[in-house]
Amino acid sequence: MLRIIDSRTGEPVEAAPARRGLTRVQAHASGLDASALRVLLVADVLVRALELGGHPVWAILTGARQQAELRAAATTLGIRPFEDGQDLAAGLGEAQVIHVAERPGPAAGGASADGAVLVGVAPVAGRVALEGVADPAVLRLALLAAPHGTSLRLDADALDEAARSLARWRRAVAGWARKPSRPVPEEVRGRLRTAWENDLDVPGVLGVLRWVEAEPGLPDGARFETYAYADRLLGLDLVRDIGSLA
């Protein structure tokens, strides 16, 4: 069961209290900067987590400035498209509304005005131009490396660390793919879901992947399936280099 911390109250709540009810995830971001992209990325991971749990989701973006540029940058980062917040319709039978917005700031305060759940995303310090990043998944991983409620600094060291991890994992996945497939061990699947269902603890998910990478008792085929499964949440294209090893 996915539970998230409501930034209005500091209390955990169920992200989808009704199994068949629609959950609206509404991202609030204006302008084109790393903090706005982080808001969209957190919303994207939330949508992926809900879908992995079998819940119908409606993802919406609202904001007043540079929407076309922000959407283009989000697409580059592998963030799936949001519908236009101006086209909101009533009577959809929503069971839950979750706002995702930067905090602190007026966007977060306004987003919580209707009493819905609010996921507050801490700001990002540092500026990185997307065109200066050879592989956008590196920036995505760097933005996922800290809890969404914790401020994050993007600098050359953070991007270098993300690039090294991503390259190592993609090489490993390509190698594991050549071995007989094995199912994801139930213990590992449980640890992954426990992490992301605990307030979208993506750093916890990354920690499980590091453990799977190093654990000597796991078959390589199980490592491969684990990384492919976790990537449905992470969106890092970890299987990209399959078939590239000589």
pLDDT digits (tens, 9 = 90+) for 171-210: 999 999 999 999 999 999 999 999 999 999 999 999 999 9
Q: Are the C-beta atoms of residues 19 and 55 closer than 8 Å to each other? A: yes
Q: Residue 85 has what DSSP assignment? A: G
Kindly report the CATH number that applies to the domain delimited by 3-121.
Answer: 3.40.50
pLDDT score of 57: 92
Q: Going by C-beta distance under 8 Å and a sequence separation of 6 or more, which residues neighbour residue 215? A: none
Mean of per-residue pLDDT scores for the chain: 88
Q: What confidence category does residue 114 fall into, taking pLDDT thresholds of 50, 70 and 90? A: low
CA distance 138 to 53: 26
Q: How far is CA 172 from CA 66, 135, 145, in A?
A: 39, 18, 20
Q: Is the pLDDT of residue 105 over 80?
A: no
Domain with CATH 1.20.120 in the chain: 163-234
Range(s) of the chain covered by CATH 3.40.50: 3-121
- For the stretch 50-101, pLDDT in tens is 999 999 999 999 986 788 889 999 999 999 999 886 555 444 556 689 999 9
163-234: in CATH 3.30.70:
no
Number of H helices, E strands in the chain: 8, 9
* Report field, pTM of the whole predicted structure over 0.95: no
What pLDDT sits at residue 144?
A: 96
